[in-house]
């Protein structure tokens, strides 16, 4: 359910699902603005884009115009995520280590988790934010809107898909073809099932079923929270 893609040839594509970012396309220049790697745009019009070499842009009109605000930062971000329902007043940025957060629309920033890594986020549980880095071995979780975070190791299993979240205590992920889950909030992760191809997309359907698409374009469904597919 997350929305990060490489942004080539000055084409900025913002992808999202209901309750998150809208899908829009915006072409902007001059040639200086290239190699952008992630962006998020709120339905209220505010948004952010981040690029290589410490480039940052912000918009307040839904992406029609962008302002270069790179001089506000001394870091390089690869991921940017606005918290749904805040019109990007609450926004997270991260790179190799640490989560940089603003709770006032980008006026001020603070490093809320200097030792944690999170590139993707999940807001499917009210009041709880999950974060994780693709191909990493830890999940981070916040219950106070992103101001403080707790980290949970995945028993040395790499997270290679988005999280499939049932509740604050029960969620899982695919490592290659094997599905791992926790039922104790992240204290332990156990392999509970497998499919016969690597999944390239996973999501939770409106009725609570898990859906996965593998690299041979098969659609997989689990009606028991990942125990069988």
Q: Where do we find the tokens 């016969």?
A: 196
Phi/psi region, residue 44 (left: phi>0; alpha: psi -120 to 50; beta: rest), is: alpha
Q: Which of 123, 122, 83 is nearest to 106 (CA)?
A: 83
* 3-class secondary structure, 70: helix
> Over the stretch 105-157, which tens digit does the pLDDT of each residue have?
999 999 998 888 888 899 988 889 999 987 889 999 999 999 999 999 999 89
pTM as predicted: 0.80
Q: What is the pLDDT of residue 5?
A: 35
Q: Average pLDDT per run of 10 along the chain, which is 229 residues long?
A: 35 35 44 72 94 86 88 87 94 86 94 86 91 89 94 93 95 96 95 94 92 90 96
Q: What is the rounded CA–CA span in Å between residue 20 and residue 23?
A: 10
């Amino acid at each position: 359910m997350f929305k990060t893609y490489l942004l080539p040839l000055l084409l900025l594509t913002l992808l999202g699902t209901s309750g998150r970012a809208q899908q829009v396309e915006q072409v902007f220049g001059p040639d200086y603005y290239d190699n952008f790697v992630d962006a998020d745009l709120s339905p209220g019009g505010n948004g952010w884009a981040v690029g290589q070499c410490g480039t940052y842009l912000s918009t307040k009109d839904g992406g029609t115009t962008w302002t270069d605000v790179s001089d506000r930062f001394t870091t390089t971000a690869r991921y940017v995520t606005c918290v749904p329902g805040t019109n990007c007043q609450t926004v997270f940025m991260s790179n190799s280590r640490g989560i940089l957060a603003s709770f006032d629309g980008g006026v001020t920033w603070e490093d809320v988790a200097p030792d944690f890594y999170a590139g993707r986020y999940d807001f499917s549980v009210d009041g709880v934010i999950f974060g994780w880095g693709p191909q990493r071995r830890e999940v981070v979780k916040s219950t106070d809107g992103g101001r403080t975070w707790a980290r949970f190791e995945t028993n040395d299993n790499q997270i290679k898909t988005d999280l499939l979240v049932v509740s604050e205590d029960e969620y899982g992920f695919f490592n290659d073809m094997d599905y791992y889950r926790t039922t104790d909030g992240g204290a332990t992760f156990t392999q509970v099932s497998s499919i016969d191809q690597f999944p390239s997309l996973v999501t939770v359907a409106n009725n609570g079923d898990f859906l996965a698409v593998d690299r041979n374009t098969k659609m997989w469904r689990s009606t028991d929270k990942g125990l069988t597919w």
